[in-house]
Amino acid sequence: MSNSKVQITAIILVLSFFAFFALAPFFFMLISSFKPGDQIIKNGISASIDFDIMSLQNYKTLFTERSGIYLHWYKNSVLITTIQTAVAVFLSSWVGYGLAVYEFKGKNLIFVLVLVLMMVPIEILILPLYKLSITLKIIDSYAGVILPFIVPPVAVFFFRQFAVGLPTELIDAARIDGASEFAIFFKIMMPLMKPAYGAMIILQAMFSWNAFVWPLIVLRSNENFTLPIGLASLITPYGNSYDMLFSGAVISVVPIIILFMFKQNSFISGLTVGGVKG
């Protein structure tokens, strides 16, 4: 008996250690956000909590520094995340549904393409995509950030897996009633895919909000930056607004954490789709 109690206590201790490892940086980030920025850049982040040097000043600079550039970045992030999530989730459900319910020539080839592209990291293609976005005149714009990712293969795969399980009898019945193929999608199938939409909207929103590599390449001017690019620019020689760094980082994480608190299960079911494919 006591042996198993020792075991359980040991397990709880190990888990507590890793929970601490995971949460402590959030705490120190918050503490750092109240300290003068230049001091952190010079001395690094320490565990000390010294109320004399801590103030809300850094949060005020978010509104004032360079005529509120941070608010610009925030607005860009909100708009890009919203548009990209809406378009990407709709289009990938559209494609995934098509792959799931129809038999047609080339279907297997397209599905294998989806599987392969799921794994191709965008990092490999940054150079040609950069040149392409100049040619297409979408460089340094919202469209430039969004367009290459309007049909994410991972999301297509997710919706395809979900739509395979939809009841095909409903489709046949609707066809007999004279419904068009597209009406069937909009009126019957979209409502049935609601759980899949929930999971993908959240996951896609998180990806867009945190996206870094491609926006770093395609966004060129300061006022078009998204939050991650803006924050990264703060420590370059041109940035020089160290006070905004950690207060800005804290405020940028808040929306995702709130979303996570309310929609934990959607995060998890969205993430595990790739892992448990039959």
Partner 1 sequence: MQIFKNFYEKYINSKKVAPYIFVSPFILVFLVFYLYPIISTVIMSFQEIGFGEAKFIGLANYKKLFNVHYKNALLTSTNYTFWTILILVPLPIILAVFLNSDKTKFTNFFRSSIFMPALTSVIVAGMFFRYAFGEQASTLANSIIGIFGLEPITWLQNYIPAMIALVVLCVWRWLGVNIIYFLSGLQSIPEEIYEAADIDGANSWDKFKYITIPSLKPVIIYVITISVFGGYKMFAESYAYWQTATPNDIGMTIVSYIYQTGFNNFNMGFASAIGITLLLIVLVVNIIQLNIFGLFKKEEQ
Could you say which of 6, 53, 212, 220 contacts partner 1 (CB under 8 A)? 212
Residue 246 touching partner 1 (CB under 8 A): yes
Residue 158: HSE in the Cβ half-sphere, 13 Å Cα cutoff: 31
Site string for partner 1, 163-202 (x = CB under 8 A): -----------------xxx--x-----------------
What is the C-alpha separation between 89 and 159, in angstroms, rounded? 9
Could you say which of 2, 47, 177, 191 contacts partner 1 (CB under 8 A)? 47
Q: How far apart are the first and last CA of the chain?
A: 40
Could you say which of 36, 41, 59, 143 contacts partner 1 (CB under 8 A)? 41
What is the C-alpha separation between 68 and 63, in angstroms, rounded? 5
Which range binds partner 1 by CB under 8 A, 49-57, 58-66, 68-76, 250-258?
250-258
Q: Nearer to partner 1 by C-beta: 219 or 245?
A: 245
Residue 18 touching partner 1 (CB under 8 A): yes
What is the C-alpha separation between 236 and 228, in angstroms, rounded? 13
What is the C-alpha separation between 267 and 260, in angstroms, rounded? 7
Smallest distance from the beta carbon of 150 to partner 1, in angstroms?
6
Contact indicator for 87, 150 with CB cutoff of 8 Å: yes
Q: Nearer to partner 1 by C-beta: 51 or 104?
A: 104
CA proximity to 205, closest of 157, 259, 160, 247:
259
Interacting residues with partner 1 between 67 and 126 (CB under 8 A)? 91, 94-95, 97-99, 102-104, 107-108, 110-117, 119-121, 123-126
What is the C-alpha separation between 93 and 221, in angstroms, rounded? 33
